[in-house]
Chains A and B, each alone.
Chain A
Amino acid sequence: MFLWFHKLGSPPHFYRIAGKWIPWLTGIFLVLLVAGLYGGLIEAPPDYQQGESYRIIFVHVPSAWMSLFIYVVMAICGIVIIVWRMKLAEVVLISSAPIGASFTFLALVTGSLWGKPMWGTYWVWDARLTSELILLFLYLGVIGLHNAIEDKRVAARAVAILALVGVVNIPIIHYSVEWWHSLHQGPTVTKFDKPSIHWSMLLPLLLMALAFQVYYVLALFHKCRVELLQRERNSKWVEEL
């Protein structure tokens, strides 16, 4: 177990394994994506209140989930970096940040596109929108800090600390914003009255969530490989490639 862990942590080994996995992951991702989109955009019936425009949730909800998930991944990498100084965790943390920021941005954009027909405006200071926006700032902070520090190993430690501080704060920020929102609640109706979602909508949603998850791993592997090559460009195993 430890041997496996140790091996996975070595850059050349990871580089090879990731390279082998990438074609498979691409295939799985495409299958899931096509199935999810077909189920979501063609099979699933229109919503009786929102008509066709609810279909954006098949992109919106998975990307919002991913935006949180990736931050948690980054925080776990942060612990690994601080405790074990593992190089691979540094690479994973750094490579995750732009992907997470993109998912957050995607969630914001799709959310506001959905808001236009539903609420009549692209942006309301809804609790979830606001805390998603703050999450985007947290991601940008991580990316900015990493770019600002030249020594990449030091930068990784700085970013690890920041990710941990952020992960403690995210729930606090989220609930503060929710609380703030319930105080300032405007006239707009913002919440679905949770009708239990029909499986014909739930299934494509889960498929899309899975597809996004696989896409994250795929994009992560690509980025990690590039990052590893850049960092280890003077080492022997890179020259041998």
Chain B
Amino acid sequence: MSSRLSLLQAFVFLLRRDLLLAFRNRAEYAMPLLFFVLVITLFPLALGALPELLARIAPGIIWVAALLAAMLSLDSIFRSDFDDGSLEQILLSAHPVAILVLAKVSAHWLVTGLPLLIVAPLLAEMLGMPGQAQATLLLTILIGTPILSMVGAIGVALTVGLRKGGIILSLLVLPLYVPVLIFAASAIENAAMGFEVSAQIYMLLAFLLLSVSLSPWATAAALRMSAS
């Protein structure tokens, strides 16, 4: 690491490092995905397996489960780096911390958010979601889950130094997830009824841009606080 890396090289380096770490710990990263499937399985058992009921509430269930799964996996963004001290190295590096944070969060999204794309259609089918809604479901997951990672990163950065950060984390992060939940679920619902969904998609895209541009700064500030 003695050679000077450019900002882009540092970004790619960190991204690759995190992806490699995730790949070596495959089992750990599969847990949130499993949790996602499990939570969705519980709903038909609790509510009864009426096909029209399930189809009606499928968008909500899938998104609530995605929210919870994202929240469970959040801790892994900074936890191990905090424990082994590499977080401090990142904070001390010559590059802007916000950009490096962006790399870490992107890696996190690639290993936790993206796999939902693969499982979601399967679950949508099991819940009897109409075919025309499934494309919208995938689109909302594609746009929505990075927002969850971005916003969640702020919460993790604030609580990573705490021994019992988990419950506090959910209290901090879940209220901030509300807009994503509203627009994603209503987009799918509209699509299922055959209505236009571009308004909701544009709103989600706006949230995505906002969170990508603002949240790394807040996360960086929170990390400096936690590491001090």
**Hey, which bits of chain A sit against chain B, CB under 8 A?**
82, 134, 137-138, 140-141, 144-145, 148-149, 154, 157-158, 161-162, 164-166, 168-169, 172-173, 176-177, 179-180, 183
Contact = CB atoms under 8 A, between A and B. Distances in A.
15 contacts: A82-B221, A141-B172, A145-B159, A145-B172, A148-B162, A158-B158, A158-B222, A161-B221, A162-B158, A168-B214, A169-B175, A173-B176, A173-B178, A173-B179, A183-B186
A165 B154 contact: yes
A135 to B, nearest CB: 8
A165 B171 contact: no
Contact of B225 (A138, A158, A177, A180): A158
Given A137-B171, A173-B178, A179-B182, A148 B218 contact: no
Given A165-B218, A169-B176, A173-B178, A154 B171 contact: no
Given A144-B168, A161-B158, A177 B182 contact: yes
Contacts of A144: 168, 171-172
Interface in B54-84: none
A137 B175 contact: yes
Contacts of B228: 154
Contacts of B176: 165-166, 169, 173
B87 interface: no
B109 interface: no
A180 B180 CA distance: 11
Contacts of A141: 168, 171-172, 175
B165 interface: yes
B24 interface: no
B165 A148 contact: yes
A28 to B, nearest CB: 35
B171 to A, nearest CB: 5
Query: SS class of chain A's interface: helix, strand, loop or mixed?
Result: helix
Contacts of A82: 221
A176 B221 contact: no
B35 interface: no
Contact of B174 (A137, A164, A180): A137
Contacts of B164: 148
Interface string B183-225: 1001000000000000000010001001000100010011001
A1 B171 CA distance: 40
B168 A180 contact: no
A137 B159 CA distance: 17
A158 B158 CA distance: 6
Given A137-B175, A157-B225, 6 more contacts: A137-B171, A141-B168, A148-B159, A149-B162, A154-B228, A176-B179
B128 interface: no
B44 interface: no
B121 interface: no
Contacts of B178: 134, 173, 176-177
A162 B159 CA distance: 11
B175 A176 contact: no
Nearest to A82: B221
B77 to A, nearest CB: 16
A80 to B, nearest CB: 14
A145 B161 CA distance: 11
A161 B154 contact: yes
A107 to B, nearest CB: 17
Interface string B132-176: 000000000000000000000010001101101100100110111
Nearest to B224: A157
B104 to A, nearest CB: 18
A140 B221 CA distance: 22
A138 B218 contact: no
